[in-house]
Amino acid sequence: MHYYIWTLGCQMNTADSQLLASELEKHGHHATENWEDADIWVINTCVVRQSAEDKAYGRLYQLHALKQRDPSRIIGLMGCLVGVRDPLRLRQKLPFVDVFMPPSDPRPLLTFLADRGAEAEALAADAVARAHRDALQDEDDIASGDLVLPVHERNSLVSAHVPVVYGCSFACTYCIIPFRRGVERSRPVGEIVAHVRSLARQGVREITLLGQIVDRYGKDIPDGPDLSDLLHIVHDVAEEEGVARIRFLTSHPNWMTDRLLDTVAALPRVMPHIEVPNQAGDDEVLARMKRGYTAEDYRRLIARIRERIPGVAIHTDIIVGFPGETEAQFQRTYDLLAELRLDKAHIAKYSPRPGTVSARRMIDDVPPEEKERRRKALDDLQSQIVAEINARSLGATVPVLFEDRHRDKWRGRTPQNKLVFVESDRDLRGRVEDVQITWTGPWSMQGRLLSDVLATASGDTITLAVTR
């Protein structure tokens, strides 16, 4: 059968969809680029804000209408809309959905298809049914960590995500993720290593380790490794297998130890790039968010990261319009961002989420227009800051890992994760090349391959010699 997956939300969902695609293909199904042609439709959902949830429902109701015309289509719902508990209420609300899959768990769909396969086998003993039955016997594969990339990504995907901590046991008052992704569970080292190794052998050149609070890796394993140990282990694998770059996200300020920062600085394949959300610059708001640090703590953390990791790029997340956020409190967030001059800020408008403490006990009292005004003010500030930071790279030479072509240019990233576009007729996919930066803006840069610059320069010399 043919499948099509819509992936909404975060990098963890991207990784989850990749695992699902891998499993489906292992069981004899194929991807299609045209979703209308697919027999199996899967929506991998996000509910972090109401807007994300609305997107999932919009797609779902569209598919429902189509399924009414053709009931043989299979609809699978995956991810944070489903959650880790039995989605009984969702089943009742959405009876046309055939399969519900919790985050990171493709097995319900595989079982569903296997059951169908068994039925078909009884009727026709066809090859697909036999493939399903055989595949059921190697169910343990998922747990081993080995991942066979889906065909369209095999030997072409450059950058991949590897979950290392599932779930979250922290309790930020605004956040629904712990309710939907379950308690924090670190993945065993062996599984992570197998995952990284298998990706590398299929051409992947950059690995990003994922966790809701990735710097808590290993805290739930007695005497287990921490993130710093894990980075050393993954770095060894990267050296053996030719993985050029390692990143990790998202960090929480309270677990960013000096040891971790020094590890990032010491390991050449771990990139100088830290994602550590601030959320707010006002202490009272931070306390009501239950983030566990003050603005001054965050300020000191940024200084410490910069001191220990030369040339580091720091990304943050901010929420504007949290319940009760006054103009003065918002201004403190604005001032902190203006002071810290970070490399990127994801700015979100507060959205009350069912079941969270802030939705149950606090009033969403900042009007939508005011949230939008605050969001835009921070966005404007931040793009000005990033434009200035990026302008400093003009004329510099930076190593860029190229990922793919975008229109007529190659697209890649610097160690600081900044986007760079370059014109070249060569196949640059998966290569790290020195690039001279010729133009910079807030969202991307353009440059020329240093090898081209040098070739032109030596060409000039020859011309000069001839004319003389």
Question: What does the binding site for ligand SAH look like in residue numbers (CB under 6 A)?
Answer: 48-49, 168, 174-175, 177, 212-213, 250, 252, 277, 279, 317, 319, 348, 350-351, 353
Q: Between 375 and 418, whose beta carbon lies closer to ligand SAH?
A: 375
Residue pair 79/88 in contact by the 8 Å Cβ criterion: no
Q: Between 114 and 366, whose beta carbon lies closer to ligand SAH?
A: 366
Taking the complex as a whole, the smallest distance from the CB of residue 46 to ligand SAH amounts, in Å, to 9
Taking the complex as a whole, the smallest distance from the CB of residue 308 to ligand SAH amounts, in Å, to 21
The encoded tokens of residue 340 equal 């810290």
Residue pair 196/234 in contact by the 8 Å Cβ criterion: yes
Task: Report which of 57, 88, 52, 89 is spatially closest to residue 75, judged by C-alpha positions.
Answer: 57
Taking the complex as a whole, the smallest distance from the CB of residue 249 to ligand SAH amounts, in Å, to 8
Q: Between 366 and 437, whose beta carbon lies closer to ligand SAH?
A: 366
Taking the complex as a whole, the smallest distance from the CB of residue 174 to ligand SAH amounts, in Å, to 4
Q: Between 102 and 117, whose beta carbon lies closer to ligand SAH?
A: 102
- Burial classification of residue 111, based on how many CB atoms lie within 10 Å of its CB (0-12 exposed, 13-18 middle, 19 or more buried): middle
Q: Between 177 and 389, whose beta carbon lies closer to ligand SAH?
A: 177
Taking the complex as a whole, the smallest distance from the CB of residue 190 to ligand SAH amounts, in Å, to 25
Query: Closest residue (Cβ) to ligand SAH?
Result: 317
**What 3-state class would DSSP assign to 429?**
coil
Taking the complex as a whole, the smallest distance from the CB of residue 164 to ligand SAH amounts, in Å, to 13
Q: Where are the alpha helices (DSSP H) in 267-419?
A: 283-289, 295-308, 327-340, 357-361, 368-391
**Cis peptide leading into 250, omega within 30 of 0?**
yes
Residue pair 365/327 in contact by the 8 Å Cβ criterion: no
Residue pair 433/449 in contact by the 8 Å Cβ criterion: yes
Q: Between 23 and 226, whose beta carbon lies closer to ligand SAH?
A: 226
C-beta atoms surrounding 209 within 10 Å:
24
Spatial neighbors of 273 by CB under 8 A, at least 6 apart, are 247, 312, 313, 315, 415, 416, 417
